[in-house]
């Protein structure tokens, strides 16, 4: 069992990165505002341009130790949606893999069985544990995979994932999820339901943005606990997989030695970019 010294948790209500934001769309208690949802696409496009401008800073990040990383996409997304993130982590030296299951339409039989097999195979081939990076719905998969296979999981990083399952009316993506729900496996096919609550025995970093136009940002926070942290970034939900602040955070989290976890602290040159 991994041992780590007790550490503080970066909480949303006490975070030094907390922005001074007001307005119904950023309260995080209900459905994101229509204005935020409508602005998702243009903001995500802008963030893609910003990451290109920050390439010199991102290129200076510490090179990785080569451990395996499995990246899980959001609802209706596939491996192309995480291409920037995966290429960056691969460039840093990690053994990065997409999920290779096509479009993410929810917990189908292929997903439920395929993800566990893929995690175990990656861990066996590398001879070491796998970091799970999940974007939105992919983060829910990452949590459940870590519960089922803590011996194969090094850590979990979620990006805008509603891990504290919000009321259905609070999810802007719920109608899309419902539209493909006929493809999802019945509970009888799943030994432990994907939605099952329970403790995670691996480090967890939850990334969220108060200007999320898809899910209520408070639903993306993990409860306080040992080796748990919530880290806020600026940006859209749709741009989290190529947000330069997220890429910097991932470079930091993945570079930490497995047995010496500590909370995230932005580098000096980029500290001003975090709320």
- Check which CATH number belongs to the domain holding 93 and give it: 3.40.50.1820
Tell me the percentage of the chain whose pLDDT exceeds 70: 77
Categorize the per-residue pLDDT at 170 as very low, low, confident or very high, splitting at 50, 70 and 90. very low
Alpha carbons 272 and 275: distance in angstroms, whole number: 8
Distance CA 9, CA 13 (A): 11
Report whether pLDDT(74) > 60. yes
Q: Is the pLDDT of residue 135 over 60?
A: yes
Instruction: For residue 260, tell me if it sits in a domain.
Output: yes
Q: What is the pLDDT of residue 65?
A: 94
90, 250 Cβ separation under 8 angstroms = no
Task: Give whichever of 90-94, 167-171, 174-178 has the largest mean pLDDT.
Answer: 90-94
In a domain, 184, yes or no: yes
Domain-embedded: residue 7 = no
Nearest-CA neighbor of 65 among 47, 44, 83, 89? 89
Q: What is the mean pLDDT of residues 122-147?
A: 94
Please state the domain count of the chain: 1
Nearest partner of 90 among 127, 148, 133, 53, judged by Cα: 133
15 belongs to a structural domain:
no
* 80 in a structural domain: yes
Q: Read off the pLDDT band of 7 (50, 70, 90).
A: very low
Helix, strand and coil content of the chain, in percent to the nearest 5, comes to: 40, 10, 50
Query: Does 264 have pLDDT greater than 70?
Result: yes
pLDDT of 16 above 70: no
Q: Do residues 98 and 71 make contact, with C-beta atoms less than 8 angstroms apart?
A: yes
Show the tokens assigned to 171.
């999810």
Give whole-number Cα distances, 71 to 44, 68, 98, 139, in Å. 19, 10, 5, 9
Q: How confident is the model at residue 257 (pLDDT cuts 50, 70, 90)?
A: very high
> Tens digits of per-residue pLDDT, 21-70?
334 344 556 778 899 999 999 999 999 999 988 988 898 898 899 999 99
* DSSP 8-state class, residue 172: T
∠ at Cα 47 (46, 51), nearest 5°?
Answer: 120
Question: Which pLDDT band holds residue 108 (cuts at 50, 70, 90)?
Answer: confident
Express as a percent the part of the chain with pLDDT over 90.
59
Gap between the Cα atoms of 96 and 84, Å rounded? 12
Instruction: Please give the Cα distance from 238 to 209 (Å, whole number).
Output: 11
- Total residue length of the chain: 275
pLDDT tens sequence across 215-255: 999 999 998 889 999 999 999 999 999 999 999 999 999 99
**pLDDT of 165:** 65
Mean pLDDT of the chain: 81
* Model pLDDT for residues 175-196, shown as the tens digit of each residue: 444 544 544 454 433 334 344 4
- Given a cut of 90, whether residue 9 has pLDDT beyond it is no
Does the pLDDT of residue 166 top 60, yes or no? Answer: no
- Which residue range(s) make up the domain with 196? 30-273
pTM above 0.75, yes or no: yes
Domain assignment present for 3: no
**Residue 19 placed within a domain:** no
Could you tell me if residue 115 is inside a domain?
yes
Q: Is the pLDDT of residue 94 over 90?
A: yes
């Amino acid at each position: 069992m991994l041992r780590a010294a007790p550490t503080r948790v970066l909480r949303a209500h006490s975070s030094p990165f907390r922005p001074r934001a007001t307005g119904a769309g950023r309260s995080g208690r209900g459905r994101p505002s229509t204005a935020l949802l409508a602005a998702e696409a243009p903001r995500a496009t802008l963030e893609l341009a910003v990451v290109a401008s920050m390439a010199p800073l991102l290129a200076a990040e510490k090179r990785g130790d080569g451990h395996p990383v499995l990246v899980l996409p959001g609802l209706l997304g596939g491996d192309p949606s995480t291409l920037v993130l995966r290429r960056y982590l691969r460039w840093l030296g990690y053994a990065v893999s997409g999920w290779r299951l096509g479009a993410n339409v929810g917990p189908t039989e292929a997903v439920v069985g395929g993800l566990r097999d893929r995690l175990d195979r990656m861990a066996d081939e590398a001879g070491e544990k796998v970091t799970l990076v999940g974007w939105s719905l992919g983060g829910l998969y990452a949590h459940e995979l870590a519960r089922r296979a803590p011996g194969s999981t090094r850590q979990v990083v979620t990006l805008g994932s509603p891990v504290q399952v919000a009321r259905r009316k609070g999810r802007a993506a719920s109608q899309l999820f419902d539209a493909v729900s006929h493809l999802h496996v019945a509970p009888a096919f799943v030994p432990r339901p994907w939605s099952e609550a329970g403790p995670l025995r691996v480090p967890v970093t939850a990334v969220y943005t108060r200007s999320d136009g898809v899910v209520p940002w408070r639903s993306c926070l993990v409860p306080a606990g040992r080796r748990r942290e919530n880290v806020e970034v600026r940006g859209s939900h749709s741009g989290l997989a190529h947000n330069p602040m997220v890429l910097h955070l991932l470079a930091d989290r993945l570079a930490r030695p497995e047995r010496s976890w500590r909370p995230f602290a932005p580098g000096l040159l980029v500290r001003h970019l975090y709320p």
